[in-house]
Structure 1
């Protein structure tokens, strides 16, 4: 039973984070709509004012989706509703088909899953996965709601509550399902991740200095042995806090130091049932140095771009939340 539960948890993590990557891709794709519309009407419209810095670069220095400044109130409501329906409705529809297919009981049940202890099912990697998903979803949805034509404050609130509200709804439904249980630990990290995403969107200086990223390298454990599985292979995951020299004005102006990043992170290995039978599970603290690929690409491939292209938007969004292993050198401290 425990083995089956671990596989189910991995499957749910894969589904949630796969949805996240699709949202990242959608962010870049929908950014092209205003550009196409503007190009088509260029001959019949008076010259437009140059885009403001807020239109091009949002909090933290990442390219923003151009706001639909000329959208009517009806269009704003329609786009906003479509984003919310896609997020909430899609999650519930998938959950009904894949998570809650065994049905529900009459009572509400809870489970004490623990946090980062040696005796937990995943050493805390699943909890960081919840937090990371809530954090990233809140930020991407905020940008999506801005694209829909909402002002910054409304977009922030909608992004936070749509992200966290959906995850909390899933947890509550779990409490009534036959297969799952409500986890207070999952609920708390969902709230924490969403709140952190909200805070980062409202603090541009901190956002320019710090990234939260997931790094994955295929492990030799059961989940990673047979396929590349960045979302279910907990043993191959590292959750990192990355400090970027480019976020410090004095260092950003330096020819070389602006490409330097320092990181510290956490991961857990061999907590799978199959692995426990052979080796003792371990928890790890990582610290190291990495190359700021976003800065590198801006000064090479994307240099001279008057407005970020779809390719640049997608690339920089991906690099904001994902650490490329080849661009980092990290030391490993084992916590047994």
Structure 2
């Protein structure tokens, strides 16, 4: 996939360069910037995959390439994670390619497809892991994340509907569940944040002002719809055997889906002239702003959270 992006760069016709301030966005293609960004993209992808291979796959046995159907696992929270990852990898890459001065559509397709390309390589690595396998549903989720980004850029030249993430630490009562959580989700705060599907929420954050500019609502105010899940101690069920061979049955714990409605903040629509602050706002926009939230779940409950993240 990285090679395909670099090959695409070879086909791009670039006019003579002109001097543009380093941090300025040019109105025409700058050849040197195209190749610099291409090299940076390839280096980041290669480095990221090397780190991933060392930290994630090294402790698991390898196998011949195979497929694995995990579409029904984790109440599809892992699929939401794939959509989110492909969307934001593509979003930041698209923002980076603005610096090249390439024609707008080329920026969008090169940047937007970067997330799908990177996630596809990871999926190929999964195909050689005995623990997992190549998943077509993961690939569909990757494609959905990139499509959400690219379609909005082509249609509106902005992201009116953004994907966001929030997470909160989960407490697991008793030594059995604590041991299982450590095994599944890791021990550290960052491991739990990235791996514990019971504490994650993924959001579609919509900016009403961008759809109706005569509204009285402020430009930065968004309305977010969230999806989460809870009560999951395994991919498809809550029964397992520990390392000592002991059997544990927590099937009485219901695996529930949670749906949220909450106000949000689009930091990129807060006016500022400082480039550093603009970059910070782009990063903050990955996260759902802590705010009151209404929850409805598949256990038939309706809850109002004073502050939810």
Query: Could you tell me the TM-score, scaled by structure 2's length?
Result: 0.70
Q: Which residue of 1 is the match for residue 90 of structure 2?
A: 138
How far apart are residue 124 of structure 1 and its match? 1.0
Q: Which residue of 2 is the match for residue 112 of structure 1?
A: 69
Higher relative contact order (CA 8 A, sep 6+): 1
Kindly tell me: are residues 166 and 227 of structure 1, through their superposed partners in 2, closer, same or farther at Cα, counting changes over 3 Å? closer
Describe the SS at the equivalent of 1:137: helix
Q: Which residue of 2 is the match for residue 203 of structure 1?
A: 155
- 2:44 corresponds to 1:87: yes
Q: Which residue of 2 is the match for residue 125 of structure 1?
A: 77
Whole-Å Cα distance in 2 between the matches of residues 143 and 83 of structure 1? 14
**Deviation sequence 1:106-147 (CA, Å, 0-9, x none):** x321111123xxxx2x22111100111001111111111221
Whole-Å Cα distance in 2 between the matches of residues 288 and 179 of structure 1? 36
Q: Which residue of 2 is the match for residue 213 of structure 1?
A: 164
Q: Verify the 8 A CA contact 1:262 1:289 in the aligned structure 2.
A: yes
**Any gaps of 5 or more consecutive residues in structure 2?**
1-19, 173-180, 239-248, 301-309
Describe the SS at the equivalent of 1:240: strand
Q: Give the 5 Å matches for 1:1-336.
A: 37=22, 66-69=24-27, 72-73=30-31, 75-101=32-58, 104-105=62-63, 107-115=64-72, 120=73, 122-204=74-156, 207-208=159-160, 210-221=161-172, 222=181, 223=185, 227=189, 229-247=192-210, 248-251=212-215, 254=216, 258=219, 260-273=221-234, 276=238, 277-278=249-250, 280-292=253-265, 294=267, 298=270, 305=272, 307-315=273-281, 317-325=282-290, 327-334=291-298
Whole-Å Cα distance in 1 between the matches of residues 157 and 197 of structure 2? 32
Q: Verify the 8 A CA contact 1:218 1:224 in the aligned structure 2.
A: no
Describe the SS at the equivalent of 1:218: coil
Kindly tell me: are residues 67 and 216 of structure 1, through their superposed partners in 2, closer, same or farther at Cα, counting changes over 3 Å? same
Q: Verify the 8 A CA contact 2:227 2:258 in the aligned structure 1.
A: yes
Kindly tell me: are residues 156 and 291 of structure 1, through their superposed partners in 2, closer, same or farther at Cα, counting changes over 3 Å? closer
Structure with more helix by fraction? 1
How far apart are residue 205 of structure 1 and its match? 7.5
**Any gaps of 5 or more consecutive residues in structure 1?**
1-33, 39-65
Describe the SS at the equivalent of 2:189: coil
Whole-Å Cα distance in 2 between the matches of residues 138 and 287 of structure 1? 26
Q: Verify the 8 A CA contact 1:288 1:330 in the aligned structure 2.
A: yes
Whole-Å Cα distance in 1 between the matches of residues 267 and 151 of structure 2? 22
How far apart are residue 80 of structure 1 and its match? 2.4
**Deviation sequence 1:244-293 (CA, Å, 0-9, x none):** 23322011xx2x56564332221111212499354524333323231436
Kindly tell me: are residues 167 and 259 of structure 1, through their superposed partners in 2, closer, same or farther at Cα, counting changes over 3 Å? closer
Describe the SS at the equivalent of 1:238: strand
User: C-alpha root-mean-square deviation of aligned residues, in Å?
Assistant: 3.2
Query: Could you tell me the TM-score, scaled by structure 1's length?
Result: 0.65
